[in-house]
Amino acid sequence: MDKISVIVPCYNEEEMIPIFYKEISKVIKKMKEVEFELLFVNDGSTDDSFKEMKQLSLDDKKVKYLSFSRNFGKEAAMLAGLEYASGDYIAIMDVDLQDPPKMLETMYKELKSDSNLDCVALKTNSHDDYGFIRKFFTNLFYKIISKMSKTEMVPGARDFRLMSRQMVNAIVSMGEYNRYSKGLFSFVGFNTKWLTYKIPERKAGKTTWNFFKLFVYAIDGILAFTTTPLIISALIGIIFCFISVVAIIFIVVRTLIFGDRVAGWPSIVCIMFFLSGIQLFCTGISGAYLSKTYTEVKKRPIYIIKEKSNDLSNSSF
Ligand code: UDP
Ligand code: MG
């Protein structure tokens, strides 16, 4: 009998946890041919999320929990779940029912029907709920990263996916601190089948992602999966060197022929501003990579567990 581990990262989701549990229980009842493990990861919630999970785990021995010492972010919660999950197949699912549990059955069937497949993942093709600005930046991000990075990023990809044990082991073996899952999932390779669906509205609670956080997350993705910006900044440097050499020759020749007329300081100031802007921008790019290297080198733990359910097998990593 196959075992599926469902990892559910939760951050301040006291309202959603019981609703989610009810929904997933229906699916578990239906899929009699599989054993289930529900692994809730409490990512330092400040509400009663942890109490809810603990209560569920007392009533239902399929339910297990991990609780962090503080909020480490969804990426860390997903990693902890992947490290502790014991199933043959592992799914990651949001607690807000935007990743509908009933899709799990279809995903499992798809995965089973083709022995070549290692993963069935979901993506959305409609961003109707996004405003104009968010849509614009989302498209821009995927355009930039697909041009710059060798790792393929699928537009509209969710974190909702069902993976084989082998693929999960590969993901967990990537011990980097700055984790950008969408990239990691793709980097490890294996065969993924994409199913398309429309994301339903969040059932309760509210999203913790605002525009600024998403923007920073997008930059993280670019920094983690391509170093092309460094090359671009070096190229800009070379181009401007070339332009300045031509300009110097032009000025020297002109002075020799027509004499020196002191004029045109506004244009010089404009050029200075422009060039120092570009210099700062390029230094910023190098700085961004340096800071990522710094956090990587420190080798701090990606998450710290304060409490976990007793029956949870030790992380094998
Ligand atoms: N989440 C988390 N840690 C965080 C933020 C979010 O574990 O710091 C969880 C959250 O509880 C939910 C999932 O990640 O289960 C997705 O979060 P959210 O619905 O806020 O994101 P969105 O669907 O808007 O992308
Ligand atoms: Mg959500």
**Six-digit token pair at 195?**
């199913």
SS3 16: helix
pTM of the model: 0.80
Question: What does the pLDDT read at residue 315?
Answer: 65
**Six-digit token pair at 238?**
């070379």
Question: What does the pLDDT read at residue 316?
Answer: 56
Question: What does the pLDDT read at residue 281?
Answer: 84
Considering every ligand atom, which ligand is closest to the CA of 208?
1
> Hey, whose CA ends up nearest to atom 10 of ligand 1?
10
User: Rounded to the nearest whole angstrom, what is the distance from the C-alpha of residue 224 to the centroid of ligand 1?
Assistant: 21
User: Rounded to the nearest whole angstrom, what is the distance from the C-alpha of residue 114 to the centroid of ligand 2?
Assistant: 30
**Six-digit token pair at 149?**
């990075």
Question: What does the pLDDT read at residue 135?
Answer: 82
CB-defined site of ligand 1, < 6 Å: 9-11, 13, 43, 71, 73-74, 77, 94-96, 98, 202, 207-209
Residue list, CB under 5 A from ion ligand 2? 94, 96, 98
What does each C-alpha distance from 37 to 4, 77, 156, 258, 312 come to in angstroms? Answer: 6, 16, 28, 84, 10
Q: Which of 214, 207, 184 is nearest to 302 (CA)?
A: 184
- At 25, phi and psi to the nearest 5? -60, -35
User: Rounded to the nearest whole angstrom, what is the distance from the C-alpha of residue 95 to the centroid of ligand 2?
Assistant: 8
Question: What does the pLDDT read at residue 314?
Answer: 66
User: Rounded to the nearest whole angstrom, what is the distance from the C-alpha of residue 193 to the centroid of ligand 2?
Assistant: 22
**Six-digit token pair at 306?**
């304060």
Question: What does the pLDDT read at residue 88?
Answer: 92
Question: What does the pLDDT read at residue 210?
Answer: 83
Residue-by-residue pLDDT tens, the chain, 317 positions: 899 999 999 999 988 999 999 999 999 999 988 999 999 999 999 999 999 999 999 989 899 999 999 999 999 999 999 999 998 999 999 998 888 898 899 999 999 898 889 999 998 877 667 778 888 888 888 888 888 888 888 888 888 999 999 999 999 998 899 888 888 998 898 999 998 888 777 777 777 788 888 888 888 888 888 888 888 888 888 888 888 888 888 888 888 888 777 777 777 887 888 888 888 888 888 888 998 888 888 888 999 999 988 878 766 55
> In angstroms, rounded to a whole number, what is the distance separating the alpha carbons of residues 50 and 189?
35
Where does 96-156 show beta strands of DSSP type E?
119-124
